[in-house]
Amino acid sequence: MSLYEKAPAKINLCLNVLRKREDGFHEMEMLMTPIDLADRLTFSLLDREISLDSNSSFMPLDERNIVYKTAQLLKDTYQVTQGADIYIEKNIPIAAGLGGGSSDAAATLRGLNRLWNLELSLDELARLGEQIGSDVPFCVYNQTAFVSGRGEIVEPIQPFPKAWVILVKPPKGISSWTVFKDLDISQLLSYEIQAMREAIENHSFKDAVRYAGNALEVQAVKQNPLIIEVKDKMLKFGADTALMSGTGPTVYGLTQNMKKAQRIVNGLKGFCKEVYLVRTL
């Protein structure tokens, strides 16, 4: 018997950094939504061990892998005697700011919860996910949400209005920790996140995109100046907003007009190799 779980990518619609905490993490507030670019995980029962396989040659298939760590944590926490064979079909770019690893971890929690008949609630899975990574709790719930703390406080809200999402991943990836390492909070912009939340709750795409912003962009651009170029091109080609997602370097544009979305994609294809056209979920 095999089970499947989709692991959708996420985009940050609005992101503020409030302060550095005593535990070394940063206090954040974010609005995030899943999109329909997704990895797909397949789970099959094994007697005891955890075994990984994948279509991607870019990640380790042992205890260094976030999926392996997640499976082992769930197994140890609930003293599961069974094992699992997990196949990771990777479609989300790695080190892109799209939460691919976190979403894979969340899909692992949901998939193994079913495979091993643990009957845990999403709240219980999200609490376990905190130990794996800051974006994992959001990815467990897998819906538009206001997220605070270091990522562990997730408040689902109305879905983001239906829109086309144009994603452009510049060639050079960015590791999250490098963006936070030298962060000077006094230099960061702050965005009207509550105004954006109200616009989403009121199903207003036009109002929501006015408040889009990512405080980490300033820092990420120092590592990858291409981010600004991609943003400028997206806006020039007609995107209603263009923004870096997470810690970058992926930039996304939003529009509700399919022809405009196609025009933006065509305009950017020659500029960057990795260009995707997807929908909000």
Positive/negative CA dihedral, 151, 120, 110, 157: negative
Pick the closest to residue 231 from 163, 170, 180 (CA basis). 170
pLDDT of 270: 85
Q: In this predicted structure, which of 92-106, 116-130, 167-181 has the lowest mean pLDDT?
A: 167-181
Instruction: For residue 60, give both structure tokens.
Output: 């380790």
Beta-strand relationship, 145-149 and 153-156: antiparallel
Q: In the predicted model, what is the mean pLDDT of residues 170-187?
A: 87
Between residues 271 and 37, the one the model is more confident about: 37
Cβ neighbours around 219 below 10 Å, total = 21
Helix-strand-coil split of the chain, %, nearest 5: 35, 30, 35
What is the rounded distance in angstroms from the CA atom of residue 81 to the CA atom of residue 179? 40
Task: Tell me which residues are annotated as active site.
Answer: 10, 135
Q: Give the pLDDT confidence of 188-203 residue by residue, as tens digits.
A: 999 999 999 999 999 9
Query: Does the pLDDT value for residue 123 go beyond 90?
Result: yes
What is the rounded distance in angstroms from the CA atom of residue 198 to the CA atom of residue 210? 12
**DSSP designation for 280:** B
pLDDT of 95: 85
What is the rounded distance in angstroms from the CA atom of residue 110 to the CA atom of residue 104? 10
Q: pLDDT band for 172, please (50, 70, 90 cuts).
A: confident
| Residues 6+ away with beta carbon under 8 Å from 192 | 14, 211
What is the rounded distance in angstroms from the CA atom of residue 207 to the CA atom of residue 1? 47
